[in-house]
Structure 1
């Protein structure tokens, strides 16, 4: 009977006249009694909100409409999951490092991961059933899942009214039912499985799973219910005072050094003096020791233009490829000193070398505009 004790559900059933529990009956209901139905509903609602944020993040990355809905919360084990899994899958494991302590595992089918990787690299998302991913595809999917978990953690931080941080994620391809899905959870350990329906346009209609240890799930429920146990900070014990009675009983006398009475000197208080604003050094004035840094070399570079390409376009670049920049032919180029823009100019040819003729020095407003680009 649960190590010699009855659970609350067993006690309630006995009090209501529902019969008695045998040891086998108690053991069979142990896993299901780990979380109440209210706890499961609360976890489902938390998952629904947090994975809603994750779907928004994924939609931004792949440029397609993403819906993650209908959470279903159940208690299971990794051993039971393996019996019902269709391999291969890709799993992303992260750890909560603050706000909540525990593990979080996100599992996705390999074909769904291939669709996401294809969309991230500029494709149309139409792929056949796949059993493996290239190194580039796995990296792309891991980054997408990382963004999803990060958005979910941010959403949880808002709900919990506390900071929630996660560790750098680790991904693995699970294509062997005998191999461990994660090193942090044993096969027989009860875990919480939150299943979601994943839809990506008309390309994906599947499920995605979030796995949590029971301890982490209970922590989340206690935070949302306001039942989290406060952290008790033990105060250092004070040395008990030696009373006269104690001295008489044990024959102990504590030597006390005589106090020295000193006369305290009055504290001298002065008004703070500030330099007048109108006596500041003019901005154009140079310090007298400017000669000390006149020989320091600075790197000057010229930006002809910029553009953005996706991964597919980068991989298709070759000898003779043309890249269109965001500047017109007659627009001035940017002149940078140690990476900071200081002027605009026009490209000229000096003998057989390129050069730049300065046409204007940038103002503070122009510097701010350039930072916003």
Structure 2
């Protein structure tokens, strides 16, 4: 695009062909010829019944302008402003049940119909009578058709969902096989095909094994996020992280080494009498030889007996937590 193309010159004049418009005007004038002289207005004609259009002279069909055939008044009672009835030919006559019934009855009476039964039969043959059984049959047929279409659509949706579920199952199998493998690992086509088309795969029966790299990220005590991250590696060299919250760290430590580290609130695994008071045990009982009697200052539950040093350590830890909670509550103005 250049400057000359952006600045057009004088636009050429558009030549319109007036002949189609003139032909349409002539056709309308032929169908609805204007009356020669002023059109009389009848004030008794309601506005809602006045026809929109000039009154043809001589009388003609309001729609097509035909005047050579039989004409009938408008079944809706429409009139021209002068009060003359609007006429229609047999082809352009608007549908009106009363007019149709009158036409059928007139034809029947002009024929061989001589009794009310003959006239009623003529109306029934013309489809003018209301038959509740026929209407109900039509409604039932439409309802059955709708049910059949809905059932077919549901079957189709079910088949589509089954296909999608199969593909999802294959994708999950392949992803399960890829789990823990580094991005540079090479797989045989047979392994991928076995994972995609066989169920269950060997990888679903054997759990993934992770090895600890002897590295872990432990948050500080005042850190907002208390999650610990344990660095691991899969059998194929892929990296993996074991993320543990504070409570999960203590629970895992208790499970890994119950003799060294245990949950401070866990019960003693050696004796049910561990942690009892002087009122609950007999100090002269030989079973208590080698046990420790612990009383923590500031804790008002009295001295208690513990079977191992680890139990004493956990009791001290529990007492420390209680004292720390009491200090926090005292700072906030509460009572312990």
What TM-score does the superposition give when structure 2 sets the normalisation length? 0.16
* Larger of the two Rg values belongs to structure: 2
More helix by percentage: 2
More strand by percentage: 1
What TM-score does the superposition give when structure 1 sets the normalisation length? 0.15
* Structure with higher RCO (Cα < 8 A, 6+ apart): 1
